Structure 1
Amino acid sequence: MNEILTLSALSILVVSFGVGIVVGLTGMGGGALMTPALIFLGVNPTAAVANDLVAAAANKSVGAVVHAREGSPNLRLAAWLIVGSVPTAAAGAFIIDAVGTDESQTTFVKTAIGCALIFTAVTYTLRMYLGMRAAARGVVAGDTDPAVRPIPTLIVGAVGGLLVGITSVGSGSLIMVALLLLYPTLSAVRLVGTDLVQAVPLVMSAAITHVIVSGVDVGVLVPLIVGGMPGTFLGARIANRVPQAVVRRGIVIVLSLTGLTLLGVPPVAIGLIAAGLVILGPVVWALVREQVNRPVPAADSADGPAESAPQRSGSSGGSPGDHGA
């Protein structure tokens, strides 16, 4: 009991509450934010991954049950993702364990998380761009299930599962973007529901093997769950009152800088990159938005009605608020 009532545990509780708010606001996968936060709080990287996976398994189960009751997931699509992801997610802990000494494992996991965060920042930016482009073209959410493409879906599940198993990053961000690209006619609610349903066995598989290999720290796990659940609830409640575009672009900047830090980039370089992202980022994004919102010339629209006429597609719905990015 004493290991729960410590300053370190209190810090983790506060941070997990804050991360939970962000997850509730944006739907962003908590692992991309919580795992590096635990590392910066002094938790060993392998322990950070293990404890975050166990906490995520509990939190995602709640969301998956809600979506399953509402009938939103595409269960056939989720099944193919699960077949691909569960074995590779389970292998993550054993891959880390096979790296060698504790020091080698720490270096390996930090590097893997750093690369995963950079990749997540890039794909999250792509997700915002797809939502903005869909909104500019008058795309509305579809209401029919697309034909499942087994092989590409299996590959997405396998790659996503391996990434989650090693870093705990990717179940709610990278896989979501891949689904957007593979199934653009999948509606927003089905996209989120499908991702949540497939994420439960994926995260559980990774969590179980991490517990077997390295165990969990009660002083880390309990504050993660106790702080994360109410934070996520609060974030979801205030989501409509917070400017999503600012929050989402802020997340991309945080992920990028955190990833670079874990990869060992010098602080001076990170400071310069941060200044560039903060100052030039909004300018570049405004130019992109202007280009996307530019009306399609009549000559171009004559080539085919699909580009100018509204379509029924799910790419508009990565998450509520993408369109305003």
Structure 2
Amino acid sequence: MADTMTLESDELTPMGGVEPDAAWADEVRRLAEERNAVLLAHNYQLPEIQEIADHTGDSLALSRLAAASDASTIVFCGVHFMAETAKILSPDKTVLIPDARAGCSLADSITGTQLREWKAAHPGAVVVSYVNTTAEVKAETDICCTSSNAVDVVASVPADREVLFCPDQFLGAHVKRKTGRENLHIWAGECHVHAGINGPELAERAASDPDADLFIHPECGCATSALYLAGEGAVPAEKVKILSTGDMVRAARDTRASSVLVATEVGMLHQLRKAAPEIDFRAVNERASCRYMKMITPAALLRSLRVGADEVHVDEVTAERARASVRRMIEIGTPGGGE
């Protein structure tokens, strides 16, 4: 195991110098056992990080698994809001993120202050926030939602109540389209990676492989285009599937297509190919890679387990309020896939 664990001066340069070989894997497992730690990896992580994890999936499902485990430490290989969610659901456990610089453009698109100002402009409105938000925003939220249950959560709000939906505008547009709700106000936030997967490239890929299923994440800028293609008959409607990351894995096992075009962050392809190795899974946009997700490197994970870096804290008041918004979502029904 080459081990120099270098960190360059660029504030977003990933930690390097460690090869994910067998010696690295043995050391990670030894240290995890020593710390009584459970290792969680989001579906968008590097393949070697996914392979070493105890559990791989979407962030909410992972956080709930960790909360139910006997581990005293949670090592969350993902971005910062995900580790915060784990801490919210497991306040008595130590939560580590291997590199605290791993942020999220979507979560950063709305702050607690901005949400409070939005609420003040719409007194009496119900705030529905996607789980891809900071603890501070969750604390200002009435009900959280996932990408797979957002429609059900919004539908549970009385029809005469205004709804403030944040932060993802594409998921919000999907919910508004499905519910037909006119009193749904949508925050203009986005994930820069998903927003960059556009309609024209989806149409081009679909035209070149007309028999392929389309797995489309609702955060994608091309989600509306996918439905348009289906509506116009350019793509059979049954081949267009708007899915969360967790639901994509389930759909991979069920599809009868020989090829699938996938519109989400490219890290998802690893789990899809494992779930159904006989199917040709291809990215709609091969450049759709989140640099923040890829900051959790073999070196960062090893450092985190060795020295306990970087611990995630959420103050008790914020955590309790945020936890209540997640619980209200769970009371409505099965959360399903997180992102």
Normalised by the size of structure 2, how large is the TM-score?
0.28
Which structure has greater strand proportion?
2
Higher helix share: 1
Q: TM-score by structure 1 length?
A: 0.29
